[in-house]
Structure 1
Amino acid sequence: MLKNSYKMLFLTTLFLGTLISICSSSWLSVWMGLEINLLSFIPLMMKSNNLFSSEASLKYFLTQALASSMLLFSIIFFFIIYFKNTSITSINFMNMIMSSTFMMKIGMSPFHFWFPIVMEGLSWINNLILMTWQKIAPIILLSYCLNFYLFIISIFLSSIFSSINGLNQTSMRKLLAYSSINHLGWMTASILINENIWMIYFLFYSFLTISIIFIFNTFKIFNLNQIFSFLNFKNLIKTFIFIPLLSLGGLPPFLGFFPKWMVIESLMMNNYLLLSLILIYFTLITLYFYLRISYSSLILNYNEMNWNYKQFYNNKNFKLLSIFLYTNLMGLMFINMLSFIF
């Protein structure tokens, strides 16, 4: 009998709830799938020896319950509209409410108030699930109820709030939370153009997030000062940390620049010039605090703790970190070679 066999059960129902929502043919079954997904993730968040995780799970449950109740209300109202043949204004209003519920579920501005707080109280593995898998179903459902003006406003606010709020953060979990909100703006902009672009962007974002969280979870890094006073091995592990982080920020020539490059090109071809300019400008601000952290940690002198990491270089973690590092370094070059060949 597995010690944490209940986690396997809830992980299975977590994945199942997302698949039910994506594959459903009615809005009521979509709501049921989202509820299964929510109720499966709550036990995974909670830990008996950590009060912060219990508080974060309660806040997450209340926010998601509010979004689910709004979604159920809009579904019922849509049925009433369908049978009574009411005006197009009512349909657009309910479409905006439904889009707002999905934005609240993924933590997109202006409904991002809960996302950094919940991220701060969770472990790195739960943060990985929250930043990747939990976004799949709401974003796909968001693309079904396209509301152009709401999307544009949300993209602007996500870019502005995430870049400005991330400047004064010392917690790495909150820093990744605001970075995730910024990437949600890029994903929503790609939905306006083509859903295939959104899928490619999300795959690259998931890979970069997995590589960064694997590093932070391996070294138990939660705050910025842990990176400053980190290691006695000539900045080698700092390189493992900062190359995926800069790649997530979209710095060329790293791999994370490719999905942003693809979205910018698509926006320019469809005459979304102001939107692409706003996204580029505020992404440069997020890239600025990544570069500031990297520069100060690698160049300036700090008191370094004399930890022994000799055993680390001989285990599987070092090999996985090397794979993540080389993929981020050489991924963009490899993609350009493939595009040149084919």
Structure 2
Amino acid sequence: MYFLNNSNKMFFTFILFFSTLIAISSNSWFGCWIGLEINLLSFIPLISSPFNLLASEASLKYFLIQSIASINFLFVILLKMTFFKNFLMDNFFSIMISSSMLMKMGSAPFHFWFPNIVEGLSWFNNFILMTWQKITPMILLSYYFNKNFLYTMIIFNIIIGAIGGLNQISLRKLMAFSSINNLGWMLFAIMISENLWIFYFTMYSFLISIMCFFFFNLNMFFINQLFINNISPLIKINLLINFLSLGGLPPFLGFFPKWIMINFLMNNKFYLLTFLFVMMSLIIIFFYIRITYTCLMLNYFKMKWLKISLKNNFLWLMNFFSLISIMGMILSTFLFL
């Protein structure tokens, strides 16, 4: 990876991981806030680049949004310390803290910054933003939340994440809306139990890492780049498998955490929410299939010397990941036996 031969990037990556541990292991709200601030100040040097105007713009936007959310969070902490004995304010405090955390994660309806910033980042930075940067806010959110408010946010996330991705031509924005949709699932998972959230989050991180690794190696940022005739059929089939796994189609690994979630929803009589989750997942799968179908069926010819293929070790790795995606469901069924 590019940061391994850059000492600055290595240092800030280490601080980024360390700050998350500070925030989630802190025993006071102030400690959590300090962890979040260190996290923000370590992520900005990773995403800003003097050679890329889009990345510089994205880092400035990210800083502004995260600062607003942090100020909001700090304001609520101070209020909570002032009105410590006032239980009537509890709902207000929980909604305000939840809103700050949701804004930091790029959750709907505070999501408008998220696709814009994603568009200016490299695939590796996108991977960090869509996975690691969600850990701290999500865990802080689980400490103190308002159930009804969170149910509303979950519905917002799954609907906006599905509808927003329909008219996108940028792969990065598509991944961003997919991330918003998955955030709805993760919010519900953390309301059930932290273990279920860890499981769902691990699976989601694994699948998103495959997609980011794939697009990074092929140097692809837009859907029409996938229609080039010279991409080898094996790469296209791997792409199909991993897209469908990320969408949560039954034979693949990505369906397993969703299956557990749907199981819980049905057992606890959340029928309307189950219906919404399943229908919005179908829309997500629809636009994934639309990409993979056109990628496999439509081709436009390029010069013979423009041969797109992965280096041998990367191709082996992609085949291995795809095998895990296919075998995942078979392995997971053994857990129920």
Paired position in structure 2 for 1:329: 326
Partner of 1:52: 54
Q: Give yes or no for contact 1:249–1:286 (8 Å, CA) kept in 2.
A: yes
**Code of the aligned partner of 1:17:** S
The root-mean-square deviation of aligned C-alpha atoms, in Å, is 1.4
Q: What is the CA deviation profile of residues 280-321 of structure 1, one whole-angstrom value per residue up to 9, with x for unaligned ones?
A: 1111111100011111121234335533356x35x3111111
State the 1:109 CA deviation. 0.7
Say if 2:284 is the partner of 1:286.
yes
Runs of 5+ in structure 2 lacking a partner? none
In the superposition, the TM-score normalised over structure 1's length comes to 0.94
In the TM superposition, structure 1's runs of 4+ consecutive aligned residues that sit over 6 Å from their partners are none
Query: Structure 2: which amino acid aligns with 1:318?
Result: L
The answer to which of 301-310 and 274-283 deviates more is 301-310
Structure 1 residue aligned with 2:227: 228
TM-score, with length taken from structure 2? 0.96
Return the alpha-carbon distance in structure 1 between the equivalents of residues 49 and 36 of structure 2.
23
Residues 30-49 of structure 1 aligned to structure 2 (within 5 Å): 30-49=32-51
Residue in structure 2 matched with residue 24 of structure 1 by the alignment = 26
Q: Which residue of 2 aligns with 1:182?
A: 181
Aligned to 1:316: 313
Following superposition of structure 1 onto structure 2, how do residues 167-316 of structure 1 map, counting pairs within 5 Å?
167-233=166-232, 235-304=233-302, 306=304, 307-309=306-308, 312=310, 315-316=312-313
Change (3 A) 1:148 1:305: farther
Structure 2: distance between partners of 1:73 and 1:205: 33
Unaligned 5+ runs, structure 1:
none
Is the partner of 1:102 in helix, strand or coil?
A: helix
1:302 aligned partner, one-letter code: Y
1:337 is displaced (CA, Å) by 2.4
Structure 1 segment 82-231 matched on structure 2, within 5 A: 82=84, 85-86=85-86, 88-231=87-230
In structure 2, do the counterparts of structure 1 residues 309 and 290 end up closer, same or farther at CA, with 3 Å as the change threshold? closer
Q: How many residues matched?
A: 333
- What is the distance in 2 between the residues matched to 1:273 and 1:226? 40
Alignment-derived partner of residue 7 in structure 2: 5
CA distance in 2, matches of 1:81, 1:292: 53
Q: Aligned-pair distance for 1:191?
A: 1.9
